[in-house]
Amino acid sequence: MTETLLVAPDTERIPVSKRFLMCRPDFFDVTYAINPWMDPTRPVDRGLAVAQWSALRATYLQHGHRVEVVPGEPGLPDMVFAANGGIAIGGRAMAARFTHAERQGETAAYRDWFVRGGFREVVTAGGVNEGQGDFLLVGDVMLAATGFRTSLSSHQEVEELFGIPVVSLELVDPRWYHLDTALCVLDDTNVAYYPPAFSEASRAMLRGLFPDAVIATRADAEVLGLNAMSDGRHVFLTAAATDLHGALRSRGYQPVPIQLSELLRAGGSVKCCTLEIHP
């Protein structure tokens, strides 16, 4: 992977139009706890969740991105976190296979959407694989995580289906249980990430691949500031990650603040709500 250079704040970055899949949180709730963020004893304001999700969708559209919506289903309160539904690249799609029983019903819903969407090849993951929660494409390389949800064996399965080299990383802190909670892809050559979420070997790997990466603070990570989407210029992320906003501006990116406080209660933010369909 080519070395990236520091970019002056006034450098013009060019946004790339993207295609996203989202799921409206009509059935969103926190009725179980499968990550440290979830507390079933606190009531959920579903109306607020829908309003915040709708604002995110509208923001994507305002910035020229295409957004498609898969219908939510009763009994699947986490289906709003569409990023976990699978991986879609170049006309091929792999539907996820979830770790926890509470989410396993989502597999069929996302697979059916891929089939209806006209993908030329649609498969269901053989190993435990939580989609773009743990698989993030950076240019021509796939970063893939293991440690809490996705199995290491699934990394090879993804590499074989999509024909893209996979770099395996290990997550070590349950608060950052998916790769997309600890690392954000900024463009085809660079990322932002929070080093303590990764094993020492994985930190060394990331330092080698991305010597000019944006390093997030603990405060950024604790509000899921890295659970963000970037089009190469605009970075859509929680308004609460103020340190990260400043760091991004210093590299020539334009932060777009998003409020998803209600969905954060289930351990998700901008990227969790967004499955990117790569061309």
- Cα–Cα dist 104/235, whole Å: 30
Residue in the block written with tokens 């559209």? 61
257 three-class SS: strand
DSSP string, 170-222: EB--GGG-SHHHHEEE-SSS-EEE-GGGB-HHHHHHHHHH-TTPEEPPHHHHH
> Would residue 178 show up in a list of annotated catalytic residues for this protein?
yes
Q: Which of 65, 155, 178, 234 is catalytic?
A: 178
Q: Is 92 left (phi over 0), alpha (psi -120 to 50) or beta?
A: beta
Angle, CA 264 vertex, CA 258 and CA 266 arms, to 5°: 150
Angle at 237 between CA 235 and CA 239, to 5 degrees: 125
273 has catalytic annotation: no
Quick check: helix, strand or coil at residue 44? coil
Catalytic residue among 23, 155, 245, 272: 272
Q: Residues with catalytic annotation? A: 178, 272
